[in-house]
Amino acid sequence: MPIYTAPTRDTRFVVNELIRLESYGNLPGFESATPDMTDAIIEEAGRFVSEVIAPLNLSGDKEGCTRHPDGSVTTPTGFKDAYRQYVEGGWGTLSAPEAYGGQGLPHVMGFIMEKYLATANQAFAMYPGLANGAISAIIAKGSPEQQAKYLPKMVTGEWLGTMNLTEPHCGTDLGMIRTRAEPQADGSYAITGTKIFISAGDHDLTENIIHLVLAKTPGAPESSKGISLFIVPKFIVNDDGSLGEKNGVSVGSIEEKMGIHGNATCVMNYDGAKGWMVGEENKGLAAMFIMMNAARLGVGMQGLAQAEVAYQNGLAYALDRRQGRALTGPADPQAKADPIIVHPDVRRMLMDAKTFIEGMRALCLWGALQVDLSHKAATAEERQMADDLISLLTPVIKGYGTDMGYKVATDMQQVWGGHGYIAENGMDQFVRDARIAMIYEGTNGVQAMDLVGRKLALNGGRAIQAFFALIDAECAEETSDETVKLVAERLAKANGELKAATMWFMQNAMANPNNLGAGAYAYMTLTGIVSLGLMWLRMAKVAAAAIADGAEDKAFYEAKLTCARHWATRYTTEAGALRRQVEAGGETIMALTPEQLAIA
C-alpha cells in the first residue's frame, strides 16, 4: 500500500518564509491569514487528506466508476462519504468569496488544499477541481440572477460543476464545435449535441451538477468567434432554489482510460436540454478562458502532486531495499547489502525529484499569490504586474509542471526497479495518473504555443520584460553566501539564454511562423527552468539567512541550500541546449513530405 504524508513543514516554509503571506495583511482577505491561522489550516488539511482521502486512492483506481443500466453513475466505494466530510469541513470554501458562503481567504490557501487533495488522490480531487473552474466563470460572466441561483450551493460543494468543451471531432480547435443552442420563447436555450471526455460528467457525490457547456446559436460564425457558454443543470433549479425536473442530459458511457479511474470521464448527450446563456452571445471563448486559466493552474499543480506522492514512495523504498554496495565501500557491513539509497544513480533521481517538487511548490504558491495580487494589490500598477506575470507563467506552470511531474513519477517507478512495474505496489498508478495532466486543459504543445504565440507579444512584450527585470534584480542583490552567489550566477546565465531565445523569435518568427511553432516547446521548458531558478534563488536567500540567524531547524535549511545548488549545477545545463533548439528554427521539422516521414 503506497504511503502519503502531507508536506506541511515545507508548505509552511513557502507560506510564512518565502512568499510571506503575512506581509500582505493590509489587503482585503489577507487580514485574517495570520501565520497562526494559516499554519492551523495547513496542518488540519494535511491530516484530513492523509487520513480520509489518500486511503481511497489505490482502491478507487482498482474499482473505478460505474454506469448503471438506468444511466446513473456511481463513484468508487468510500468516495461519497469522503466527499461528505470534505463539504462538512468547508474545505472547498477556503478562498471562495464570502458573498457566496466562502471564507474569503487568499487564493494561496485554496491552492494548498487543492494540491493536497490531488497528491492524496487525483481522481477524487478532480470532482471539486472542475467545479472551481465553473464557479470562476459564473462569478466573472454570470448575471446576478445566475450568481444568486447557482453559486451559493456550488461554493459550499453541495452541487458540483463540469466543463463541457470537447466533442468527438474537436478538442484543441473548439471553433469547430457542433453542439447547438436554439433560443426558446422563455429566454432559455435548447441544447443538443454530444460532448466527450467530460471529467466528473456524472456521479453520486451531489444531488445536482451544474454543467457549463459550449454551444453555437443559429447563424453563429463557424469559428471560435461563434461560441457561446451555457449553464445546463442536471436538475432544473426552481426559482425558490428547490430542484425541479431532470434536464435532457444523460451519460452515454464512461470512457475506459489509462489512469484516474476514480473519476468518471463521460460521454454526455444533450438532447434539447434546457440551458441559460452565460455572458454575451458569441463571447463564450472569453468565459471559457476564465474557466481554463483557473483549471490550468490546477492541472499544473497535479504535476507537482503526482511527483510528490511518487517521491515519498520512491524515497521510502530507496531506504528499505537492499542491493549491492556503496561505491565507497559497504555502508552497512553487518548486512549482506546496502540500501539502494547509497547508489549515486538512485540519489540522482531522488535529488532531481526533490529539487523539482520543492521548487515547483514555491512557484505554484507564488503564482497563486499573483492571482490574489492581480485582484487585490493596493495600486493599479501592482495589480497589472501580478496579472502580467501569472498570465505569462500559467502555460509554463501547466506545461513544464506536468512534463516534470510525469518524469518524476516515472523516475520514482524506476527507483522501485521491477517492483515499480507490478500493479499491487501502486507506483504505476502515479505514472498513469500523472500522464493525463500533460494532455487535458490544452495539451502541453498547445500551452507552449499559448506562451510564445499569445503571451510573449501581448502589450508589446510587457510581461516577459517584467519577468526578465524581476530575475535581473533578484540576481543582482549583493550576497556573501557562496550558495546564493552560485545560484544567482547560474540563474543570470540561464536567463540570458531565455533572453537570447526571445530575441531570436522576435527576429525570425514574422518571416516564418513555423520557426515560432518549432521552438515553442523548447522555449516553454527553458522558461520553466528559469522560473524554478527564481524560486530556488529566493529560497536559498531565505535559508542562508535562517542559518545565519541560528535557526533551530538547521538541517531543513541546509537541505534547501543543497537543493538550490543541485538546481544550479544540474538543471541549468539544459538552458543553452534549449536556446539552440529554439534557434534551429523550423527548417528540419517542417521539411519532409508525408511520404518521406514514413519509415520505408
Q: Mind telling me the catalytic residues? A: 441
Task: Decide if 223 contacts 234 (C-beta within 8 A).
Answer: no
Rounded-to-integer distance, Cα 555 and Cα 214, Å: 52
Contacts of 89 (CB under 8 A, 6+ apart): 48
74 or 224, CB closer to ligand FAD? 224
User: To the nearest whole angstrom, how small is the minimum distance from the Cβ of residue 451 to ligand FAD?
Assistant: 12
Contacts of 168 (CB under 8 A, 6+ apart): 194, 196
Which residue, among 337, 314, 352, 386, has the nearest Cα to 108 in the 3D structure?
386
User: To the nearest whole angstrom, how small is the minimum distance from the Cβ of residue 121 to ligand FAD?
Assistant: 15
Contacts of the segment 241-246: beta carbons below 8 A, 24+ positions apart: 241/149, 241/153, 243/207, 243/208
Report which DSSP code applies to 247.
Answer: P
User: To the nearest whole angstrom, how small is the minimum distance from the Cβ of residue 60 to ligand FAD?
Assistant: 15
- E strands, 417-546, in order: none
Amino acid at 156: T
Rounded-to-integer distance, Cα 55 and Cα 119, Å: 12
Residue nearest to ligand FAD (CB): 171
Rounded-to-integer distance, Cα 409 and Cα 420, Å: 10
Task: Decide if 478 contacts 517 (C-beta within 8 A).
Answer: no
Q: Is the dihedral of CA 53, 56, 61, 67 positive or negative?
A: negative
Q: What radius of gyration do the chain's Cα atoms show?
A: 24
Contacts of 511 (CB under 8 A, 6+ apart): none
Which residue, among 458, 441, 504, 498, has the nearest Cα to 475 in the 3D structure?
498
Report which DSSP code applies to 264.
Answer: -
Query: Residue 214: helix, strand or coil by DSSP?
Result: strand
292 or 534, CB closer to ligand FAD? 292
Rounded-to-integer distance, Cα 197 and Cα 284, Å: 20
Which residue reads 504565440 in cell numbers? 453
7 or 129, CB closer to ligand FAD? 129
Interacting residues toward ligand FAD by CB under 6 A: 130, 163-166, 171-172, 197-199, 257, 265, 436, 439-443, 445-446, 449
Cα atoms in the Cβ-side hemisphere of radius 13 Å centred on 398:
30
Task: Decide if 582 contacts 456 (C-beta within 8 A).
Answer: no
